[in-house]
Every structure is written in structure tokens, then in C-alpha cells.
Amino acid sequence: MDIIDGTVVDGPGFRLSVYCAGCSHRCHGCHNPQSWEMANGKEMDLEEILQAVKDSPWNVTFSGGDPFFQAEGFAELARRIKAETSKTIWCYTGYTLEALKQENDPWKMELLKNIDVLVDGPFIQELRDEQLRFRGSSNQRIIEREAF
């Protein structure tokens, strides 16, 4: 959908956030419901996104929508970011880590392998907590790669 350079809401410090279109979770109270439909995004090729990452001084966040809805493209992007930069990658998803592992989709596993932090779980309006950093509801977890 968009690339925002210099955001401070999608992980620690300033970050470059890649917001994707497409999400099947459709969480009630979602802060970005326009991202649910793939048609609301604009097509960008991997090289274009990678160049924006390289041009930015900040670390990277994948958000959406849900990057795991486009796992093949985001897996390749994450792999290239890791191979060609020293940047860390945070990734937001409505899936839980357990559901991703159980599904065992090769592209989703490749994306997991190349990110540093996963913020998992659907947004649940009844569990919304504005005091939480970098997540919207208390069921969502910030999980470092060592725990994958």
C-alpha cells in the first residue's frame, strides 16, 4: 500500500515501514481496514522497495494488511534486506506464531527465518490497551527470533 520512512509507531526508534495490502483476518476495530483488500494497494516490485530500504537510514518494519498474506514476496524482500544491509526487520501479523508453524507453508517459514521480531496475533477490540508499546491489544506478543 505504501512505504513510510521515519515512522516511530511500528517498533523501536525511527523505522521505514512497508505497509502491504491484503489481509484475511479483518479484525474488528482494525486501525487500517483499507489494507484488507489487495485492490487498495499499488503494485511495487521488489527492487523498488529494496531501494527505498537501502536509501533509508532506519531499520525496517513489515505491516499491513498482513505481510504473511503475501509471504512469497515478503520472504524474498526480507532475505535480500538481510543479505544486502545490516538492518533489523520487525513484522506484524494477525497469525499467531503457533498457527504459522503448524501451517508450515514454505514461504511463511522463509519469511519467519529472515525477520528479527514478530508481533503476532489478531487485534482484539475487547483487549485493546493504549498503554502497550508497539501493539494494539494485550493478546498480541512481541517475539524475538530466538523464540521462533
Q: What integer is the mean pLDDT of 12-25?
A: 94
104-131 residue pLDDT tens: 899 999 999 999 999 999 999 999 999 9
Mean pLDDT to the nearest integer, 47-51: 97
For the four alpha carbons of 122, 123, 129 and 135, in that order, the dihedral sign comes to: positive
Please state, for a pLDDT cut of 70, what percent of the chain lies above it. Answer: 100
Q: Do 89 and 78 touch, CB atoms closer than 8 A?
A: yes
Whether the predicted model's global pTM rises above the 0.75 cut:
yes
| CB burial string 39-62: b at 16+ within 10 A, e below | eebeeeeeeebbeebeebebbbbb
Distances (CA, A) of 10 to 82, 83, 133: 19, 22, 9
Q: Is the pLDDT of residue 38 over 80?
A: no
